[in-house]
Amino acid sequence: MKNLAVANSSRFLNTEIQHPVIWAIIPARGGSKRLPRKNILPFAGGLSLTARTVQAAIAAQIFARVVVSTDDEEIAEDGRQAGALVPFLRPVALADDTASSVDVLRHAVSELRKIHPEERPVAVCLLQVTSPMLVSKHISEAVDLFLGGGFNSLSSMAKVSEFPEWMFRVEEPGGAAVPEDLAGITRPSAEILPRYIENGAIYLVKTDWLDQTGSLYDFAKHGCYAMTSEDSVDIDTRTDWDYAEFLTLRRNS
């Protein structure tokens, strides 16, 4: 699968692509309350979060189109410079804190179908720019797992070490601590089934399922692409940013 060409420019689509047609959608809105303009800021002395994600998607050599969905002209130009398509700007209604990822994804797919009615993508992949440790290897492996596993949906996840069996309920500060699981509170970790939590980096969904249900999830056929806890860092605050930069600079040193 790694010998397949990718449309990494707004000027062309490679018509010789042999892989099932998959569109990559990269949401990157202009507003950010906790860390203003985080999607456009230079990260670790280099590219912006948006440009990093675009280049990782292109380098995966798996997508027919790599598209940035944004409401912001500066981010749009940043995405184009990195090699993405930005054929539309996202409406204001889909650019605030209340806009869901699935609504942004459905809007992007709808707009792309108007522009490229001849294409029939088998699936769409949502990639989050706030996951700066995401690289092309993660993306291509997730797509391989998604297609090979017969899934209708898939998301990237990280293994957790905080098990419900070990948790307590405390109804108020200073109140009594009540175990969630009386039998499990002293159970060693080796006896507890591993659990995973979504890290927000990668979502894949079959377009038929998205069209029929409007959902990113088919829990009867949903896959997990596991990533390490370090690779799962998600940037929301300045502290997240600083930690992610530290990890990146350490890896590059």
- Give the amino acid at 235: I
Cβ contacts of 211 within 8 Å, gap of 6 or more: none
pLDDT band at 47 (very low <50, low <70, confident <90, very high): very high
- Record the pTM: 0.88
| pLDDT for residue 10 is more than 60 | no
Cβ contacts of 158 within 8 Å, gap of 6 or more: 196, 197, 199, 226, 227, 228, 229, 231, 232
Query: For residue range 97-134, what is the model confidence (pLDDT) as tens digits?
Result: 788 999 999 999 999 999 999 999 999 999 999 999 99
Helices (H), 11-151: 49-59, 73-82, 101-115, 136-148
**Annotated domain spans of the chain:** 22-160+195-248
- Sign of the CA dihedral with 114 first, then 205, 155, and 148 last: negative
pLDDT band at 5 (very low <50, low <70, confident <90, very high): very low
- 253-to-41, 47, 228, 247, 248 alpha-carbon distances in Å: 21, 17, 20, 10, 9
Q: Is 250 a catalytic residue?
A: no
Q: What is the mean pLDDT of residues 6-26?
A: 59
- 100-to-29, 118, 143, 179, 216 alpha-carbon distances in Å: 12, 28, 23, 34, 11
Cβ contacts of 98 within 8 Å, gap of 6 or more: none
Cβ neighbour number for residue 160 with a 10 Å cutoff: 12
Q: What is the mean pLDDT of residues 220-249?
A: 96
pLDDT at 12: 32
Q: Which of 108-112, 127-131, 160-164, 241-245 shows the lowest per-residue confidence on average (mean pLDDT)?
A: 160-164
Which two tokens mark 212?
Answer: 């029929």
Nearest in space to 217 (alpha carbons), one of 204, 202, 201: 204
pLDDT over 90 for what percent of the chain? 77
Q: What is the mean pLDDT of residues 189-196?
A: 90
Q: Is 27 exposed, middle or buried (0-12, 13-18, 19+ CB in 10 A)?
A: buried
CATH entry, 22-160+195-248, from 3.40.30.10, 3.90.550.10, 3.10.180.10, 3.30.565.10: 3.90.550.10
Strands (E), the chain: 22-27, 65-69, 123-127, 153-159, 168-170, 177-179, 196-206, 222-227
Query: For residue range 144-159, what is the model confidence (pLDDT) as tens digits?
Result: 999 999 999 999 999 9
- Give the amino acid at 84: A
pLDDT band at 166 (very low <50, low <70, confident <90, very high): very high
- Sign of the CA dihedral with 227 first, then 232, 209, and 215 last: positive
Query: For residue range 52-94, what is the model confidence (pLDDT) as tens digits?
Result: 999 999 999 999 999 999 999 999 999 999 999 999 999 988 8
The catalytically annotated residue of 34, 37, 187, 195 is 187
| pLDDT for residue 11 is more than 70 | no
